[in-house]
C-alpha cells in the first residue's frame, strides 16, 4: 500500500511538471490532476471543520477544562453552517453575523496587538540592555517619527522623509528579496523531494 501511494503521488507530480514542457501531450491530464487537487483541497476544509468538531466533542465528553467554550463553539458552528446553507452567504442575516460578530472580534484582537507592542517596546530596555535591543528600538522610533503624520507635516519635509524612507527601505527591500529567494528555493527543493519520493507528506513512509 505504501508503495502504491508513493508511486501515484510521484507520477502525478511528474505529469504536472512535464505538462508544462509538453502541453500538447499532457495538458489535459495536467489540468485534470489540478482539478482533482482543487477538489481535494476544498474537501480538506470540510475535513478540518469536522476535526474541529470532533476535538471539541471529545473535550466535552471528557469534561476537560474549556468544555463550556467547546459547547458554544459547536453550537455556533452548527447555527452558522445551517443558516448559510439555508439562506445563502449573501443573506442579510449572514452579513449581520459577519459584520456584528466576526469583524469586531478580529478587529479587537488586532487593537490589543497594538497595545501589546507598545508595552513590549517600553519594557524592552528593562529586560535586556544590549546593542541590538537599543538599535532596534531606536530604528523603530525613527521610522515612526518619519512616517507619522504630524500636525506640522513631515518633520524633514516631503523630500527628506522620502529620502529617509528610501534609505531605510533599501535595507528592508534587500531583506525581503532574500526571503523571497529562500522561499522559492525551498519550495523547489521540497517539490523535488516529493517527486523523488524522499519526502512523503501523504504518509506511507
Q: Binding residues for other proteins, per CB under 8 A?
A: 23, 31, 34-35, 37-39, 41-42, 44-45, 89-90, 94-95, 98-99, 102-103, 106-107, 109-110, 112, 114-116, 118-119, 121-127, 129, 137, 140-141, 144-145, 147-151, 153-154, 158, 162, 169, 172-173, 176-177, 179-180, 183
Nearer to other proteins, 57 or 94 (CB): 94
* CB 69, min distance to other proteins, A: 20
Backbone conformation region of residue 102, classed left if phi is above 0, alpha if psi is from -120 to 50, else beta: alpha
Nearer to other proteins, 63 or 127 (CB): 127
Nearer to other proteins, 103 or 205 (CB): 103
**What is the SS3 assignment for 132-184?**
HHHHHHHHHHHHHHHHCCCCCCCCCHHHHHHHHHHHHHHHHHHHHHHHHHHHH
Contact of 98 with 91, CB cutoff 8 Å: no
* CB 58, min distance to other proteins, A: 24
Contact of 146 with 161, CB cutoff 8 Å: yes
* CB 154, min distance to other proteins, A: 7
Contact of 202 with 13, CB cutoff 8 Å: no
* CB 114, min distance to other proteins, A: 7
HSE, CB side, 13 Å, CA atoms: give it for residue 75. 7
**Three cell numbers at 198?**
524522499
Nearer to other proteins, 191 or 197 (CB): 191
Nearer to other proteins, 1 or 148 (CB): 148
- CA distance to 58, 68, 72, per residue, from 61 (Å): 5, 11, 14
* CB 34, min distance to other proteins, A: 5
Amino acid at each position: 500500500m505504501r508503495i502504491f501511494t508513493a508511486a501515484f503521488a510521484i507520477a502525478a507530480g511528474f505529469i504536472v511538471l512535464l505538462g508544462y514542457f509538453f502541453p500538447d501531450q499532457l495538458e489535459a491530464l495536467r489540468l485534470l490532476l489540478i482539478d482533482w487537487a482543487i477538489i481535494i483541497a476544498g474537501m480538506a476544509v470540510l475535513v478540518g471543520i469536522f476535526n474541529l468538531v470532533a476535538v471539541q466533542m471529545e473535550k466535552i465528553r471528557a469534561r476537560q477544562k474549556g468544555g463550556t467554550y467547546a459547547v458554544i463553539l459547536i453550537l455556533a458552528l452548527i447555527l452558522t453552517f445551517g443558516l448559510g446553507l439555508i439562506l445563502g452567504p449573501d443573506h442579510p442575516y449572514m452579513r449581520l453575523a459577519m459584520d456584528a460578530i466576526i469583524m469586531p472580534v478580529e478587529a479587537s484582537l488586532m487593537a490589543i496587538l497594538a497595545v501589546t507592542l507598545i508595552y513590549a517596546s517600553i519594557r524592552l530596555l528593562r529586560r535586556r540592555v544590549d546593542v541590538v535591543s537599543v538599535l532596534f528600538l531606536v530604528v523603530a522610533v525613527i521610522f515612526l517619527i518619519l512616517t507619522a503624520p504630524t500636525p506640522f507635516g513631515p518633520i524633514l519635509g516631503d523630500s527628506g522623509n522620502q529620502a529617509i524612507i528610501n534609505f531605510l527601505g533599501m535595507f528592508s527591500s534587500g531583506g525581503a528579496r532574500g526571503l523571497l529567494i529562500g522561499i522559492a528555493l525551498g519550495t523547489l527543493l521540497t517539490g523535488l523531494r516529493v517527486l523523488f519520493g524522499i519526502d512523503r507528506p501523504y504518509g506511507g513512509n
